[in-house]
Amino acid sequence: MTRSQELFEKANTLIPGGVNSPVRACKSVHCDPLFIAKAFGSKLVTEDGQELIDYVMSWGPMLLGHNHPEVAAAIAATAANGTSFGAPCRLEVELAQAVVDAVPGIEMVRMVSSGTEATMSALRLARGYTGRSGVIKFHGGYHGHADAFLASAGSGVATQSIPGTPGVPQDVVKHTLLAHYNDLDAVKELFAAHGHDIAAVIVEPVAGNMGLVLPKPGFLEGLRELTRAYGALLIFDEVITGFRVAFGGAQSAFGIDPDLTCLGKIIGGGLPVGAYGGKRKIMSHIAPSGNVYQAGTLSGNPLAMAAGLATLKALATRDYAALTARTEAFSRELENILRSKGLPVTRNHIASIFTLFFTETPVTDFPSAQTADSGLFVSFYQQMRQQGIYLAPSGFECAFTSFAHSDEDLERTLDAARRVTF
């Protein structure tokens, strides 16, 4: 028995399912999880000493790579002065300034401790600001595990084939209206029927939790027009895309001005963090400036702020265009290798994110993502992991490259794919 197996066996007696986030259990790929002992650059090292090239990157945050020296130094220096004060600190002001400077749609920002907190709080603010209850979300869109968002959710909810709302009263989700991503006509119909009570549309500007799905031309622009016409807010969930699709996020790349933006992952430099921000006139409704309540004991804690600030400072000097080009070339060659084996493959790519779907169907929404052959994905995942390539254990997740991935890493990954058989 390996050390990972021993730990998983023990974990199952102490932690539900042996993991603290469901997809980590690797049930959908018929494997036990690997327990990680350390990470550096583009690599993970398991408790058994196996080194793997990582394309999960902590589910997106590690754009600079694992254990980046500048980030690690900032955390260590800050920790020497204390880890949590329960009071304001200089670093939260500095990180807030960095976020406001970088993200076009954010004039004020509130720090929280997770992406779920960010989206939950943004929706509460939208409802408080507009005096309305309804929210439009998209099938397969995952905005954290707050009750209102677990209707037809993607990510681990889809991977585990779990109904979206056990434990959530119908009175809560009755205010959640659903449409398919990229279907602007469906959104128009929802507004025509319920526009008087729709507080917000929440959307990943580039969907990342049904696999990677890009917006069709005019889709985001149409959402912006509709929300303005009906007096609703447009919330961009940029927990994945913020500082990854571009330094200023997807809203910068696509030129869309949302009312509220949710961030996480990268802005914590690998530590637990989230943030929501937007127009000053809206954000001023958050307590203590206004009457929409939100609080958090560890919100703005100095360790997360230091890690996030060091990360953003480093990213401001990085060549995003070059990483995009390398990821495009790498993912295209990976697609070509699999196609040469007679497999159906559809590739979606933007910046340093890509997904290979085992289907010939263009993937533009959750139903088309679900046409992918899960059996082919399981076989691919298992064979790549055996060769030291660490992929997300779900066909509904993205692959991430980073500034730490070397040409050698990419070539080793392609060589592993060439050895895969079906």
**Which residues are designated catalytic?**
142, 237, 265
Dihedral (CA of 201, 206, 208, 209) sign: positive
Is residue 64 within 8 Å of residue 404, measured between CB atoms? yes
In angstroms, rounded to a whole number, what is the distance separating the alpha carbons of residues 126 and 213?
26
Output the six-digit token pair for 358. Answer: 């085992």
Whether the Cβ atoms of residue 53 and residue 42 lie closer than 8 Å to each other: yes
Helix (H, G, I), strand (E, B) or coil at 20: coil
261 DSSP β-pair partners: 236, 277
Q: Cis link prior to 104 (omega < 30° from 0)?
A: no
Annotate 173-220 with DSSP letters as a single string. HTTEEEE-TT-HHHHHHHHHHHGGGEEEEEE-SSB-SSS-BPPPTTHH
Distance of CA 204 to the CA centre of its chain: 9
> Residue 246 and residue 412: Cα distance in Å, rounded?
27
266, 244 Cβ separation under 8 angstroms: yes
Rounded distance between C-alpha atoms, residue 368 and residue 87, angstroms? 48
- Beta pairing, strands 389-390 & 51-54: parallel
The torsion angles phi and psi of 282, rounded to 5 degrees, stand at: -85, -50
Beta bridge partners of 419: none
